[in-house]
Structure 1
Amino acid sequence: MGQQDHLVLGIMSGSSLDGLDFAICRFRLAEGGPFAVAEWEILAAETDPYPPTWKARLRSAPALPGRELWRLHADYGRWTGRRAAAFLAKYPALEPELAGSHGHTIFHDPARGFTTQIGDGAFIAQILGLKTVTEFRSGDLAAEGQGAPLAPVADKYLFPQYDAFLNLGGIANLSLKTPQGEYLAGDISGCCQVLDRLAARAGLAYDDEGKLAAGGSLAPALAQKLDALPFHDLPYPKSLGNAWVRESLWPLIDEMGLPAADALHSFTLWLAEKIAKDLERADTDCSAKTTASTTKQVLISGGGARNTFLVDQLRATQKEENPRFNFLVADRTTGDFKEAALMALCALLRTKGQTNSLSSATGAKRDSVNGALYLP
């Protein structure tokens, strides 16, 4: 059986506005059968922090009039291309054949049939001199899906040894492999963008390892407020946009007026319990016709994977003997750049005409091949 190696650049901007994640990935594809990744690795990766001016522009984007938003779309594409070129210049021996860029999400409203990720791929392609794929969500929306999450594509092809996945980014989401080999997935609630905003009250960019949260006190009334949000009780698959976190979740936390440490402590405990409950409910739905009771291995990625207090609270939700879930933190490179690797993989799948959005994860009528391809 022959094999093919492909070097692909993945570019990701998350909802926490930490910066642009870049990852040069090598994928070795098996030939002679269904699409499969025989081997893969991240050869080089880094996060390029957003300067204050770009943070401000991206935060203000949802309120821009149409003309200015489209200008930002073009400007951000140019800026992304230039930053990606600067990253690639550090690794002249690595020559990607393709780039995949998620763009930055400004609107995500699948109930109304649209999602918006800015960052014009035409500029990225011209600046890099590489075929570039963007717009990874709209094809799934056209098939009546949520357009998210995309992560189960990486879970399927890159991490088949695990049973379930948690990405603790700006928004927390889960993915669970079903007995039929499909993936049930969706967004759980706000995560790092809430934790970072609370840490900012104490003058911190983020709560390092959850130390501030660990020293806080519990405010039980907060959990009651958060549990009452209708989204939290919806069945999977389901997805969130940043607007929901800003407009529905954050005000409930803010109006409590809690000290930063107490708010962090209370939200972290609630989130850990919520994640565990959602995983258990999803696992029950998936396994209703089976009798398997083995402990499921859950891989944790994203910035929240480095929040020791949050991970400890997740593990505390399980019984010491025969836990339903075993929470495993990904290594630093995988944990920080899984989503950038996902973008690289989705771009490669797009050029191969292969599915890069799974209907079992998004609720679409069918699997779909997503992405706008720009040639340099």
Structure 2
Amino acid sequence: MIENYYFVIGMMSGTSLDGIDLVYAKFKKEDYTQFEITFSETVSYSSEWKKKLQEAVLYEKNELDSLNIAYAELIAEVIEEFILSHNIKKIDFIASHGHTILHEPDKGITLQIGDGQTLANKTSRKVICDFRTQDVKLGGQGAPLVPVGDKLLFRNYKYCINLGGFANVSFDNDNGSRIAYDICPVNIVLNYYVRKLGEEYDDEGKLAAAANLNKDLFKELNGLSYYKEKPPKSLGLEWVQKHVIPLIDRYEDDIPTILRTTIEHAAYQISKSMPGKGNVLYTGGGVFNVFLMKRIEFFTQQRVVLAEKVLIEYKEALIFAFLGVLREDNKVNCLASVTGASSDHSSGDIFLAELS
């Protein structure tokens, strides 16, 4: 029966700026593991919007406030088109991650734009969003948030690794607590440099595969202090701009070599994030970088088995839909063992459309 399910639109936008990921998914109320992605789609950003999102870290508060509203209006248009094009009838709510502009949890700062009230008003639907702020207020990293979905929806995998702007990992430790953290930058660095060649991304990692490894840069990247820190820990664009880009630019100016060395660095760090053998769910756009996956196989000494394409591309949007379900049911959707917050909690703000 239709009443036994939640029907949710999940929205996600990652740091790699690939676009707005949308899913229309259903979850069985009595057993969340009974779920299905019915429709999925990625809507690319215009060059104008991509530039705004790249530069927003430098904005003043009034500019950020305006961007917060404008971005909500953009995703409202995108979601309405998604609903129309797929003839979607039943929607309990929209669960929106928004887009992260600022993330410095050690300073108590995190900002995902896409104003919830504006989004609710423009779509005339309930919206659940802003899943990170409460966790940061409770002393947590506000990230990663996906591991609760990994734990509850994908329990057949020992490790869940997402390869997006950053690589992140989640797994249960020996006492059953979920451990998760950002491993290292991936697409956020690769795409930054490949754009200097006039391309959006390195197709299948072909440029990197044909290039030489800068061993000195590889060593310096692996020596960054972040890799010595214990979880919980997380990364943001600010960290990349402060620590990674200047380091790379000091050592190398040949872009294919930079791509090759960045992939070697990422594959090495990813292999170190898994303390034992076990089946791995790899998701995110980085999975389609064939060379990266080969280097991961090399360092882990374990064959990579890929999941179905829709899960690779849309797992994060699916899990943000699921975070909305948990919030709607007032169940834990942020794990203190993952984020370092003072307690587990049910995070996210709920907005209802205001009558005009």
- Structures share fold, TM-score greater than 0.5: yes
State the alpha-carbon separation in 1 of the partners of residues 19 and 174 from structure 2: 37
State the alpha-carbon separation in 2 of the partners of residues 99 and 333 from structure 1: 20
User: What's 1:163 paired with?
Assistant: 158
Q: Secondary structure at the match of 2:77?
A: helix
User: What's 1:62 paired with?
Assistant: 57
Q: What are the within-5 Å matches in structure 2 for residues 84-233 of structure 1?
A: 84-233=79-228
State the alpha-carbon separation in 2 of the partners of residues 18 and 57 from structure 1: 14
Structure 2 residue corresponding to 1:308, chosen from 278, 283, 290: 290
Q: Secondary structure at the match of 1:365?
A: coil
Q: Deviations over 1:20-79 (max 9, x none)?
A: 11100111122xxxxx41411110011100001111111121111111110111111111
Residue pair 2:25, 2:37 contacting (<8 A) in 1 also: yes
User: What's 1:27 paired with?
Assistant: 27
User: What's 2:307 paired with?
Assistant: 330
User: What's 1:260 paired with?
Assistant: 255
Q: Secondary structure at the match of 1:201?
A: helix
**Structure 1 counterpart of 2:206, which letter?**
K
Q: What are the within-5 Å matches in structure 2 for residues 261-300 of structure 1?
A: 261-280=256-275, 295-300=277-282
Structure 2 residue corresponding to 1:341, chosen from 312, 318, 343: 318
State the alpha-carbon separation in 2 of the partners of residues 194 and 146 from structure 1: 22
**Structure 2 counterpart of 1:318, which letter?**
T
State the alpha-carbon separation in 2 of the partners of residues 257 and 20 from structure 1: 32
**Structure 2 counterpart of 1:173, which letter?**
N
State the alpha-carbon separation in 2 of the partners of residues 103 and 93 from structure 1: 21
- More divergent stretch after superposition (193-202 vs 59-68): 193-202
Q: Secondary structure at the match of 2:318?
A: helix
Q: Secondary structure at the match of 1:105?
A: strand
User: For structure 2, which runs of at least 5 residues remain unmatched after alignment?
Assistant: none
User: What's 2:9 paired with?
Assistant: 9
Q: Deviations over 1:315-366 (max 9, x none)?
A: 11134xxx5xx54322211111111111111111111101111111111121
Shift of 1:94: 4.1
Q: TM-score, normalised by structure 2?
A: 0.95
Residue pair 1:11, 1:100 contacting (<8 A) in 2 also: yes
Residue pair 1:169, 1:192 contacting (<8 A) in 2 also: yes
State the alpha-carbon separation in 2 of the partners of residues 189 and 317 from structure 1: 15
User: What's 2:76 paired with?
Assistant: 81
User: What's 1:246 paired with?
Assistant: 241
User: What's 1:372 paired with?
Assistant: 349
Shift of 1:109: 0.9
Shift of 1:3: 8.3
Q: Secondary structure at the match of 1:370?
A: coil
Percentage of pairs with the same residue: 35
Residue pair 2:96, 2:128 contacting (<8 A) in 1 also: yes
Q: Deviations over 1:234-293 (max 9, x none)?
A: 11121011111122111111222332221111111121111111222xx5xxxxxxxxxx
- More divergent stretch after superposition (327-336 vs 14-23): 327-336
State the alpha-carbon separation in 1 of the partners of residues 328 and 94 from structure 2: 11
State the alpha-carbon separation in 1 of the partners of residues 175 and 83 from structure 2: 40
Q: Secondary structure at the match of 1:265?
A: helix
User: What's 2:34 paired with?
Assistant: 39
Residue pair 1:168, 1:305 contacting (<8 A) in 2 also: yes
Q: Deviations over 1:172-227 (max 9, x none)?
A: 11111223332101011111111112222333210111111110111101112112
**Structure 1 counterpart of 2:27, which letter?**
F
**Structure 2 counterpart of 1:83, which letter?**
V
**Structure 2 counterpart of 1:352, which letter?**
D
State the alpha-carbon separation in 2 of the partners of residues 80 and 5 from structure 1: 25
Q: Secondary structure at the match of 1:16?
A: coil
Deviating runs (4+, > 6 A) in structure 1? none
Aligned residues: 352
User: What's 1:363 paired with?
Assistant: 340
**Structure 2 counterpart of 1:303, which letter?**
G
Q: Secondary structure at the match of 1:357?
A: coil
State the alpha-carbon separation in 2 of the partners of residues 201 and 61 from structure 1: 20
Residue pair 2:146, 2:320 contacting (<8 A) in 1 also: no
User: What's 1:287 paired with?
Assistant: none
**Structure 2 counterpart of 1:212, which letter?**
L
Residue pair 1:3, 1:28 contacting (<8 A) in 2 also: no
State the alpha-carbon separation in 2 of the partners of residues 122 and 3 from structure 1: 26
State the alpha-carbon separation in 2 of the partners of residues 155 and 316 from structure 1: 25
C-alpha root-mean-square deviation of aligned residues, in Å? Answer: 1.6
State the alpha-carbon separation in 1 of the partners of residues 304 and 334 from structure 2: 25
